[in-house]
Amino acid sequence: MRYRRRRTAFTEEQLARLEESFLEEKFPGITMREKLAEELNLKEDRIQVIQVDCRLNFLMAQLK
């Protein structure tokens, strides 16, 4: 049986840094994501997921 991964609880500092990086680069490469992951003590796949979420939120705000 496969178990569902627990949701990542980001700290305020992590979210602030991720939002800041998103404003700098909307499509970060693997090198930037790995650097952020190391800096924020997260896995790179979590950085990738939150960047996708940020882009979606940004695009939805543009449509309104």
Quick check: is 40 in a domain? Answer: yes
Q: Tell me, yes or no, whether 29 lies in a domain.
A: yes
**Structure confidence at residue 49 (pLDDT):** 77
Taken in order 23, 27, 33, 37, is the CA torsion positive or negative?
A: positive
Give residue 48's pLDDT.
78
Task: Give the pLDDT confidence score for residue 36 in this predicted structure.
Answer: 92
Q: How many structural domains comprise the chain?
A: 1
Identify whether 59 is part of a domain.
yes
Q: Are 44 and 34 in contact (CB under 8 A)?
A: yes
- Give the structural domain span for 19: 12-63
- pLDDT value at position 31? 93
Q: What is the CATH number of the domain that holds 20?
A: 1.10.10.60
Please name the residues in contact with 34: beta carbons below 8 A apart, sequence gap of 6 or more: 44
| The pLDDT value given to residue 24 | 87
Task: Please check whether residue 4 lies inside any domain of the structure.
Answer: no
Say yes or no to pLDDT of 4 above 90. Answer: no
Q: What tens digit of pLDDT does each residue of 18-64 get?
A: 888 888 888 888 999 899 999 999 988 888 777 777 777 877 888 87
